[in-house]
Amino acid sequence: MNRVNPDIQGIQGNQGNQGNQGNQGNQGNQVNGENQLHQINQLRARLSDCYLTKTIRASELLRSDRGDVPGWVLVVLMTTGLVTGIWTLAAPRIDSILRNSLDSMNGIR
């Protein structure tokens, strides 16, 4: 028995079990086995074509989607501006809150 593929191996093993019917049975089994292998090879070709087609489509989509770089730059700049503005306005208040908290912790000793 040739080792073709684990999926096909079961089909080929069944062919050998049916071959106990004389020469005519063996020839019929051989033809059936060849037909089955031919059908399996056709199925493999179709699946391969389908996989290749899906891969090509996915790669085309990835190439065509470059993203919105100016949009991301604008988001980053606006976020940086907001954080800087809020920090500038709130820094004195945050500083006083932290100092009062730390001073009250020192009084606990």
pLDDT digits (tens, 9 = 90+) for 14-69: 545 544 445 555 566 677 778 888 888 888 888 888 887 888 787 777 666 566 77
* 74 has a pLDDT exceeding 80: yes
Helix axes 22-64, 6-17, angle to 10 degrees: 170
**pLDDT-wise least confident of 6-15, 27-36, 79-88:** 6-15
pLDDT tier for residue 85 given thresholds of 50, 70 and 90: very high
Contact 15, 33 (CB under 8 A): yes
pLDDT tier for residue 5 given thresholds of 50, 70 and 90: low
Residue ranges of the domains in the chain? 1-66, 67-109
Q: What is the pLDDT of residue 65?
A: 56
Q: What is the mean pLDDT of residues 89-109?
A: 87
* Integer Cα distance of 97 and 109 in angstroms: 20
Q: 3-state class of 21 per DSSP?
A: coil
